Structure 1
Amino acid sequence: MNQRNRKIMLETHAWAGLILGVLLFVICFSGSVAMFVGELGAWTNPHLRRAYNPAPFSLEARYQDARAAGLTQPNVFIAMPSPAQPYLSLATFHNGEHQDIHIDPHTGELLPTHHAEISEFLGHLHTDLHLPYPLGRYSIGLSGIFLLLLLVTGFLIHRKRWSELWLTRPTKTRRMWLTDIHKVLGTWGLPFTLVIAFTGAILGLLGFLGPFMALATYNGDVDAATQAFSGPPAQRTEQPAPMMSLDTLRERVLSDDPSMDIQYVSLREYGDGGAQIEFNGPARETLTYQNAFVFSGADGALLHRVNWNQGGVWHQLFGMVTPLHFGSFGGPLLKWLYFLLGLSLTALCATGTMIWLEKRLHQKHGAAPSTNRYARFAMGVCGGLPTATAVLFLTHALLAGDAPYVAFWLTWLGVVLLAWFGPTPAQLTLPLTAANAATAWLIPLVNGLATGDFLWRSYRELPYVFAVDAVFFLIGLTLWVVLQRRLWPSTRPAQARVLTPSRES
């Protein structure tokens, strides 16, 4: 690559990172925490914590217990027990109202009703930024495309530096050390980041890409494409009919596909002659999305079957997108690996922004006002999000209702305003990072004091509680390391040699 093309790549990489660096930080950080969305339901309500029992149970009996407890709507969504959610969860929506019932799958004991708002709240921050649909979802999809651009340009810029992939120089200038860290994270995390960026772009832009996919596969018939994945919609007949046993249908599913791990059951128009009962779940030890069996509730006839392991190449590849993005195909160890790689991707976004600022804040003629404003904005958004997340969990342990979510937004806004109008980013970095580390470490401590489920106990008995506490402990540890390195650009003029863009990269 000649000097001119390399300079173009460098400028493209720098400006694309500048424009989306803060947004990508929010997406990556929230995505890392949201890896444990499944564990948050029981973590946020200690009354639901119990050891997971994988023994068989009667799904039909438990559903009838739920109906006797008042869950009588015809459309019900059932989440099966799992190590992260060791209870049966039944939910229904009717006239804008949400109803939840939790049941011990083996004893039929009704558990305290709790809607896991925190898991949904953090999940939506990652998937749509809490913006109206489709604005938020499309923003995430476009960010994935820009992340791919950053990866390509970054790879081309640094492709001749393979001998330096483990090189870090903390004794040199801060900018040089940040550049080394950025290259190491970007290069060694490249396969993971490519997968996350590509699958995230597809998931975010699915609403936009759907008609084009239907055009390629179903001659433009979007309804036909939708039914191929979800089956025909349930048609209410207004004729009551006895329903097939859920246990009988579950046995049929496992007889036809013994590898299927049933995770969800959907009842549509239950009790009506047109009722449907759907079983969803991935095939064990395969990289697939949710396979499905759709039965007639009245006579048990198989109405539709979705098998992502079959069909054409594009059908199978599309079935891999969701599990690849969320790491849902390899068990707890893979989830932890995704979490750590997600944190490294978050750090990659942060160091890229900091390198750009380090260069411009130390220019001989001084930084432009716009650069200082951007530094304050980046500091407030990126520094405030971990604090607001920790405050969300802390206030949830103390207050009920919407108070934790109000506290989250007020805390984040407060840090942004403090960074914008208060001390300089260099002055604010150390106390804010220390506060972030302290609040992250407070989470497992407060949980242990309130419930007795300290890390050493939950590790043995409640792995899903341990996972959440361990996440915050690791976040606190990461921020403590950042605190020691004092990564934000200093207010002192740089004394060491400053590399030119061409040598630096």
Structure 2
Amino acid sequence: MASSIWPKSSKARVDRSLSAHSVMGLVISAALFIVCLSGTVAVFEDELGWWEKPVAGAVETVSPQLAQTTAESVIAQQPGTSHLYLYMPRQNWPRFVVGGDDGLETADTNGELTGEYETPWNDFLIHLHYYLSLPTSFGMIVVAILGVMLVAMVISGFLAHPRVFRDAFRFRRKGQARLVQADLHNRLSVWTSPFTLAVALTGAMIGLFTVVALVLAQTSFDGDPRALSQSIFGDEPAADETPAELANVGAALTTLREMAPEADPFMVIVHDPETAGQHVSIYGEHHDRLTYGEMYEFDADGNYTGHAGFADGELGQQIAMSTYRLHFGDFGGLAMKLAYGVFGISLCMTIAAGLNIYFLKRAEAGREMPRLSAAWASLIWGAPALLAVTLVLGVLGIGSGMLTAVYWLGTLGLAGVALVWADAIVTGRRMRLLLGVGLAVAVVVHLALYAGYYGNPYVWLTSAGLAALSAAFLGMSLKRVHGRRVSSLVSAE
């Protein structure tokens, strides 16, 4: 027999690793599942945001002259704003969104403002993933800790399974339910471990930045958080509030095109517009780099004054500015987003199967927990079902605050109903039915409200995708169950 490339492990170490893995899984599974689920959906936030409010047509390019005209329109509408933003069209996002302190609006190919850019469901989704709907600073730390624990679970999972590589392609789909779930959990966790580690580490880095920044400011920057921020994001000139003409955004874009044609501008920020101290920051995407973008600085006349070094500066700075795109798969176009979507679903299935194994082990030992296993089923299928329900409400114009309340109260309500049902299979089937119906209603309501905008391929393709998912989940919910002890938490059974 060929020897395994995995180092030999003593039974004691395996048992300790498995115990640590199980304890962490029991502690964080519910919250971690919601974070991973919302993150998987948030990979497509650009597409879903446009679908949610498709009132503006596509804008493929914005000339420097058009950018200047639009900036002047924003200032006329929002005088006194401290910052002016122009979000330029980019790959897979042909939109032109502009605004200031009082909010964002879409703009057309002529630079005319066409309406408010409000996507309450998208806002709710991002807040759910970033903060678990908690207050921002505290919530981000909580989510970051979940990321750290996910990394620990991956490592402890490998240590707890010394035959992990030998059994990498062993996948039993029939037989004892616990073994089926164990194979599903182990195989998916191994195959997706590079993705899981990358997402968990970058998520933890993003979330713990506030804590790390406070520590670094005290230890390396004499307690000055501003000095730390300047070392990473660049220094900002001192403010001079003397009135002046609006900065020449068009000249800055022209200068950037001449000096760095490889940088594709996707965001323009005018700091302190219409003051003598105003300056222009342009984020340019380098398609051959993973960094979020390089920030180029210009004065009010459009003269180049320097860049931050996100793409060619210190290694730590480049790493810090690469975490966002690596975490959300915001590189490589739609194909990479689809890959992240598949990996994200696999991660959710891994988490679901992990706790399934726990409940099935207890059942085999004669200590079945039907109410808690049903509650777990209500979370696994009820969490996405409630995303569909809130999507319907978001399309109807309900604000993100109310969507948050509906989601969490609904989560508690579904769990309570599942405790009464005390049957994981029935619970899973009914939650899938709710999910399928919710997605179908969302598509129908959206079509009724925005039928005139379905000439936009981004709109009808998203609706088609949601309709396909609805049909799949409805089919799964109506599938006859054979064998009451086969868990339905992560499969159609």
Q: Assess same fold via TM > 0.5.
A: yes
Q: Judging changes above 3 Å, is the alpha-carbon distance between structure 1 residues 47 and 388 closer, same or farther for their aligned structure 2 residues?
A: same
- 1:169 is displaced (CA, Å) by 1.9
**Code of the aligned partner of 1:337:** A
Deviation of the 1:303 alpha carbon: 4.7
Residue 484 of structure 1 and its aligned partner are, at CA, apart by: 5.2
The structure 2 residue matched to 1:99, chosen from 97, 100, 103, is 103
Contact between 1:380 and 1:416, CA under 8 Å: does it hold in 2? yes
Q: Secondary structure of the residue that 1:396 maps to in structure 2? A: helix
SS class of match (1:139): helix
TM-score normalised over the length of structure 1: 0.85
Q: Which position in structure 2 is the counterpart of 1:152?
A: 155
**What is the deviation of 1:219?**
7.0
Q: Which residue of 1 aligns with 2:491?
A: none
Residue 217 of structure 1, CA deviation: 6.7
State the shift of 1:349 in Å.
Answer: 0.7
Alignment match, 1:44: 52
- Report if the CA contact (8 A) 1:78-1:89 is conserved: yes
Residue 386 in 1 paired to residue 384 in 2? yes
1:59-98 matched pairs, under 5 angstroms? 59-70=67-78, 73-82=81-90, 84-93=92-101, 98=102
- Alpha-carbon separation, structure 1, partners of 2:475 and 2:353: 16
For 2:360 and 2:151, the matched residues in 1 are separated by: 24
| 1:322 corresponding residue in structure 2 | 324
1:273-352 equivalent positions in 2, closer than 5 A: 273-297=276-300, 299-352=301-354
| Identical positions, percent | 24
Q: Deviations over 1:300-335 (max 9, x none)?
A: 454552122223333333332221111112111111
Within a 5 Å distance, the mapping from 1:485-496 to structure 2 comes to 490=485
- CA distance 1:86–1:310, shift in 2 (3 Å): closer
Q: Does 1:477 align with 2:477?
A: no
Alpha-carbon distance, 1:41 to partner: 2.8
SS at match of 1:162: coil
Q: Does 1:23 align with 2:23?
A: no
Aligned residues: 477
Q: What do residues 60-108 of structure 1 show as CA deviations (whole Å, max 9, x unaligned)?
A: 0122233344565242222112455433212322xxxx3332210x223
Q: 1:331 to 1:112 in 2, by over 3 A?
A: same
Instruction: Report deviation, 1:187.
Output: 0.8
Pairing of 1:126-145 with structure 2 (within 5 A): 126-145=129-148
Specify whether residues 246 and 412 from structure 1 end up closer, same or farther in structure 2 by C-alpha distance, changes over 3 A only.
same
Pick the aligned partner of 2:40 from 32, 55, 71. Answer: 32
Q: Secondary structure at the match of 1:180?
A: helix
In structure 1, C-alpha distance between the alignment counterparts of 2:202 and 2:480, rounded to whole Å = 33
SS in 2 for 1:429: helix
CA distance in 2, matches of 1:300, 1:424: 66
Q: How does 1:393-404 map to 2 (within 5 A)?
A: 393-401=391-399, 404=403
Which piece of structure 1 moves more, 17-26 or 405-414? 405-414
1:488 and 1:30 map into 2 onto residues whose CA distance is 32
- Residue 411 of structure 2 aligns with which residue? 412
Partner of 1:462: 457
Distance in 1 separating the partners of 2:74 and 2:311: 34
Determine if contact 2:104/2:116 at 8 Å carries over to the other structure. Answer: yes
* Structure 2 counterpart of 1:463, one-letter code: Y
Deviation at residue 149 of structure 1 after TM alignment: 1.0
Is the Cα contact below 8 Å between 1:373 and 1:420 reproduced in 2?
A: yes
User: Take 2:197 and 2:480, find their aligned partners in 1: how far apart are those partners?
Assistant: 28
**Alpha-carbon deviations, 1:207-233, whole Å to 9, x = none?**
111244557875765322211333334
Tell me by how many angstroms 1:172 deviates: 0.4
Code of the aligned partner of 2:418? A
| Equivalent position of 1:497 in the other structure | none
After TM superposition, give the deviation of residue 393 of structure 1 in Å. Answer: 1.4
Mark the CA change 1:209 to 1:191 in structure 2 (over 3 Å): closer, same or farther.
same
Q: Give the letter for the 1:462 counterpart.
A: P
CA RMSD across the alignment? 3.0
Name stretches of at least 5 consecutive residues in structure 2 with no aligned partner: 1-8, 488-493
The residue correspondences of 1:368-379 to structure 2 (distance < 5 A) are 371=369, 374-379=372-377
From the superposition, tell whether residues 41 and 427 of structure 1 become closer, same or farther in structure 2 (CA, over 3 Å).
closer
**Cα gap change, 1:480 to 1:417, in 2 (>3 Å):** same
Change (3 A) 1:347 1:281: farther
Check whether the contact 1:285–1:329 (CA below 8 A) recurs between aligned residues: no
Contact 1:83 1:464 in 2 (8 A): no
1:415 corresponds to which letter in structure 2? L
User: For residues 362 and 485 of structure 1, do their structure 2 counterparts lie closer, same or farther at Cα, with a shift above 3 Å needed?
Assistant: farther
TM-score by length of 2: 0.87
**Distance in 2 separating the partners of 1:490 and 1:237:** 71
Using the alignment, how far apart are the partners of 2:112 and 2:277 within structure 1?
A: 31
Residue 292 of structure 1: SS of its match in structure 2? strand
